Amino acid sequence: MGRIVSPSKVEVPHKWFNILTALNFDIPVNLPPERSSDGVSVQLPIELVRQTVTKKRWVDIPAAVRAAYEKWRPTPLLRAEALEKYLDTPARIYYKNEGVNVSGSHKLNTAIAQAYYYHRAGVRRLVTATGAGQWGTAVAVACAMFGLECGVRMVGTSFHSKPYRRTMMELYGAEVSPSPDPITKAGRQFLANHDPDSGNMALAIAESLEDTTRDGFTRFCIGSGELYSILHQTIIGLEVKGQLSMLGEEADVIIGSLGAGSNFGGIAAPYIADNIENGKKVRCLSVEPSACPKLTRGEYRYDFTDSSGLTPMEKMYTLGHHFATPDIHAGGLRYHATSKLISALYHYGLVEAIAVPQTDVFASGALFLRTEGFLPAPESAHAVHGAVLEAIAARVDGIPRTIVINLSGHGYFDLAAYQSWHDGTMVDINVTDDEIRKSLSQIPDVKCIL
């Protein structure tokens, strides 16, 4: 087991860190959709809107949100000594364990803040869409904290293959329904032409949006990639900085898995600002699945954030909103693009990216279990694998370095995936250049829209 680094001596931060104030470029604005979505709009509480445009460097964490954080934060920062020894590396490896809350992942950091602001805005019921179930679980937990009702639309295949995520959400009082659902208009339209098992996030979002029209008190809340979600996740990087400095350590490489970008952005933001403003040279490395390689093989251009084509277009690294993401086990990393903030940071060379195949990822996840005694979520195991590669590079070049992994969640609901790796039935999926080119060619040219 790794040595624990006195987490009790670090205070839970009182403020989130706004990285936009450190950038010497603007994040490109969103473009309105060419078609409207039946008058359904995502109405954000004013505080969340403010957080996406504020020029303030530090944003106060409301007392009620901070009190909720204190139930499990600061999260432990542990040194992975057994893993270092196994890899015979001169690198020192630390991991920030975000899997130690009831929802099992870092997503609770923003879900709590979002539920708080919606509650303050007079909303009584929050609905959301979830793929693999982590986001839905986080929202269910957060709604219970602030007395909000909660409705979760879960992509049907996950609803059936991950029954225990549903159980957790229902125990927290959420109403969980599989998508497609014949109750909704979007669900009926989909079922008329498609197999019930072919539902996806875009449809689950469309069905959730429909749920908001049933009364005046329901709102739809979005997951990970928004600027405010990444802001809320900066609590991770701020705690890491405090914990490392107590040890007299400085990070050389920060590693996180990349889906929509919130756990990576959250741990990296304070370090990126330090690089820009104080001449530091901390490398920030994102790790994506080779089956969904948006940063390493996508294009930086305007695209829709879901496959309905009803959302505003954002400038981001994308594989195309119709990209048929292969059914890899890390459901949380299957997004066809990544947030506009992470995309811009990558475009300007402020963060790095690698893509890795899932069998290697699960091998590193299982190795982490055997050495450190904690099973990473398949998403988080991407970051672990990135750290393993970095530690091996240190062994080869002989240069010691301090690596910090964002262990974004635990994998105890993903044992079927680990079993499939263990049995040798898991396969790696290769995406061809041709598939990517075809998918990118379906993105409408922005000039046609303006």
- Cβ 417 to ligand PLP, closest distance in Å? 13
Closer to ligand PLP at the Cβ: 224 or 358?
Answer: 224
Stretch that binds ligand PLP, among 142-150, 206-214, 260-268, 319-327 (CB under 6 A): 260-268
379 in contact with ligand PLP (CB under 6 A): yes
Q: Looking up tokens 């473009």, which residue turns up? A: 31
Nearer to ligand PLP, 333 or 387 (CB): 333
Q: How far is the CB of 198 from ligand PLP (least distance, A)?
A: 22
Tokens coding 2 = 């790794």
Check binding of 239 to ligand PLP (CB under 6 A).
Answer: no
Please check whether residue 280 is in contact with residue 350, taking contact to mean a CB–CB distance below 8 angstroms. Answer: no
Taking the C-alpha atoms of residue 93 and residue 403, their distance in angstroms, rounded to an integer, is 5
Residue of 97, 315, 409, 421 interacting with ligand PLP (CB under 6 A): 409
Cα angle, residue 287 at apex, residues 392 and 303 outer, rounded to 5° = 160
Site for ligand PLP in 213-232 (CB under 6 A): 224
Residue 72 or 86: which CB sits closer to ligand PLP?
Answer: 72
289 belongs to the binding site for ligand PLP (CB under 6 A): no
> What is the footprint of ligand PLP within residues 349-378 (CB under 6 A)?
377
Helices 107-120, 134-145: inter-axial angle, 10-degree rounding? 40
Q: Does 180 bind ligand PLP (CB under 6 A)?
A: no
Question: Can you tell me which of 101, 114, 130, 134 binds ligand PLP, judged by CB under 6 A?
Answer: 134
Contact flag: residue 130 with ligand PLP (CB under 6 A): no
Exactly one of 18, 51, 89, 257 binds ligand PLP (CB under 6 A); that residue is 257
Residues touching ligand PLP: how many (CB under 6 A)?
A: 19
Residue ranges in 26-85 that form contacts with ligand PLP under rule CB under 6 A? none
Query: Given the complex with ligand PLP, which of 209 and 258 has the nearer CB atom?
Result: 258
Minimum Å gap between C-beta 7 and ligand PLP is: 19
Shortest Å distance, C-beta 403 to ligand PLP: 18
Q: Is 380 in the site for ligand PLP (CB under 6 A)?
A: yes
- With contacts defined by CB under 6 A, name the span among 13-21, 51-59, 261-269, 357-365 that binds ligand PLP: 261-269
Among 157, 262, 305, 311, the residue binding ligand PLP under the rule CB under 6 A is 262
Interface with ligand PLP (CB under 6 A), residue from 154, 260, 285, 440: 260
Q: Shortest gap between Cβ of 63 and ligand PLP (angstroms)? A: 26
Pairing of strands 77-79, 92-97: antiparallel
305 binds ligand PLP (CB under 6 A): no
Least separation in angstroms between CB 94 and ligand PLP: 18
Using CB positions, name the residue nearest to ligand PLP: 409
Q: What is the 3-state secondary structure (H, E, C) of the chain?
A: CCEECCHHHCCCCCEEECHHHHCCCCCCCCECCCCCCCCCCCCCCHHHHHHHHCCCCEEECCHHHHHHHCCCCCCCEEECHHHHHHHCCCCEEEEEECCCCCCCECHHHHHHHHHHHHHHCCCCEEEEEECCCHHHHHHHHHHHHCCCEEEEEEEHHHHHHCHHHHHHHHHCCCEEEEECCCCCHHHHHHHHHCCHHHCCHHHHHHHHHHHHHHCCCEEECCCCCCHHHHHHHHHHHHHHHHHHHHCCCCCCEEEEECCCCHHHHHHHHHHHHHHHHHCCCCEEEEEEECCCCHHHHCEEEEEECCCCCCCCEEEEEECCCCCCCCCCCCHHHCCCECCHHHHHHHHCCCCEEEEECHHHHHHHHHHHHHHHCCCECHHHHHHHHHHHHHHHHHHHHCCCCEEEEEECEECCCCHHHHHHHHHCCCCCCCCCHHHHHHHHHCCCCHHHHC
Nearest CB to ligand PLP, comparing residues 48 and 186: 48
Q: Does 234 bind ligand PLP (CB under 6 A)?
A: no
Q: Using the rule CB under 6 A, is 311 a contact of ligand PLP?
A: no
The yes or no reply on residue 128 touching ligand PLP (CB under 6 A) is no
Using rule CB under 6 A, residue 258 touches ligand PLP: yes
> What is d(CA 303, CA 96) in angstroms, rounded to the nearest whole number?
33
Sole binder of ligand PLP in the list 7, 332, 357, 386 (CB under 6 A): 332
Residues that bind ligand PLP (CB under 6 A): 105, 107, 134, 224, 257-264, 332-333, 377, 379-380, 408-409
